Amino acid sequence: MEGLSERIQNSEMEEENLLSVMRRRYDEMSRGQKALIRYISAHTDETAFMTAAQLGAEVGVSESTVVRFAGALGYDGFPAFQKELAHLVRTKLSSIDRMDLAYGNASQSEIINSVLKSDIEKIADTISNVDVKAFESAVETILAARDIYVVGIRSCAPLAGFLSFYLNMMFGHVHLISTNSMTEVFEQMITVNEKDVVIGISFPRYSMRTLKAMEFANDRNAHVISITDSVHSPMNLYSSCNLLARSDNISIVDSLVAPLSLINSLVVALCMKRTDRVIAQLEDLERVWGDYQIYNQDEIDFVDEDSIRNYPKTIYGGK
């Protein structure tokens, strides 16, 4: 089967998309414009949400260079270029195309090595760019909240469920927003106010339902925390605390390894602040499991209380 790279090379015979036009004209561009092409090709989803100034700062060129670049490609201005790029993200460059470009000629062993190494790189990148103050602020905000709402749609739903499960064990006043429509989001969040915190989880392609939920929470003066991939993510528009973890959607399956590690870190940090409650909750659960014969003794290893009490709290700034 013809690969994506071959289809791009034969683009004169087909309707060209924006990326193929940029690649075809790469050699005639200036040094700064070539840098823009390389960045946009590698970060198409993120670029679709950037301003000209933000894109220029990310690439290391001036805002005027970005504007001239859009003009060189035949657009009236950067907004027209960005609109076409957003359209490409939505319709032209499918998940199959992305996967074909990355893995089209790879063997099975090369695929597993490539995917695992890529996930390791995403975690390493997340570590190197972690905002400790934002992380600490998120912990304190959650601790002070009356009610906690967690929103994660589609592929982010498992992340939201994981976070909600452990938050409920620690706090007991957690609402996992489960929805198939925008109407249901508002129905489940109608009592949100300034005493609550709303945690929105979304990665490219960003969920409009999650964004609207965060906007609604912001309008109700609730504390809003975003868990997303970039400072340029639209999820940050309505949040006062942004937790960033790198995620790419180059294949059909979105890579959410780094976001899950970030959420796991948040759970552990909160657990260290609620050690007594967590232990009491686990002890109560063990009694319930025993009373109602939920598990046989040989099917589960109960949590060792000492492992919680003696956890190295200094890693997370605990005392």
> Which residues are CB-contacts of 134 (< 8 A; sequence separation ≥ 6)?
241, 242, 243
The distance from CA 185 to its chain's CA centroid, rounded to whole angstroms, is 20
| Predicted local distance difference test score (pLDDT) of residue 27 | 87
pLDDT band at residue 103, thresholds of 50, 70 and 90? Answer: low
- The SS3 assignment for 272 reads helix
- 197's enclosing H/E stretch is strand 197-201
Burial of 144 (0-12, 13-18, 19+ CB in 10 A): exposed
- 223's enclosing H/E stretch is strand 223-228
| Predicted local distance difference test score (pLDDT) of residue 90 | 63
Greatest C-alpha distance within the chain: 75
Q: What are the backbone angles phi and psi of residue 246, rounded to the nearest 5°?
A: -70, 135
Kindly report the pTM of this predicted structure: 0.62
Q: What is the dihedral of CA 40, 43, 47, 48, to 10 degrees?
A: 110
Q: Does domain 129-271 have CATH number 2.60.110.10?
A: no
- Are 4-93 and 129-271 the same fold in CATH? no
For residue range 5-47, list pLDDT tens digits in order: 444 343 333 345 787 788 888 888 998 998 898 888 777 777 8
* Contact call for residues 63 and 53 (beta carbons, < 8 A): yes
Average pLDDT over residues 209-221: 91
pLDDT, averaged across the chain: 79
Helix axes 275-291, 157-170, angle to 10 degrees: 100
- Domain-by-domain residue ranges, the chain? 4-93, 129-271, 276-316
Instruction: Record the tokens describing residue 302, joined without a space.
Output: 């109960």
* Contact call for residues 49 and 58 (beta carbons, < 8 A): no
Helix axes 108-128, 257-273, angle to 10 degrees: 40
* Contact call for residues 198 and 213 (beta carbons, < 8 A): yes
C-alpha count within 13 angstroms, C-beta hemisphere, residue 99:
10
Cβ density class 7-23: b for 16+ within 10 Å, e for less: ebeeeeeeeebbbbebb
For residue range 38-74, list pLDDT tens digits in order: 888 777 777 877 888 889 998 899 999 999 999 998 8
* Contact call for residues 208 and 234 (beta carbons, < 8 A): no
C-alpha count within 13 angstroms, C-beta hemisphere, residue 125:
16
For residue range 240-263, list pLDDT tens digits in order: 899 999 876 555 566 789 999 999
Q: So what's the architecture of 4-93 in CATH? A: Orthogonal Bundle (1.10)
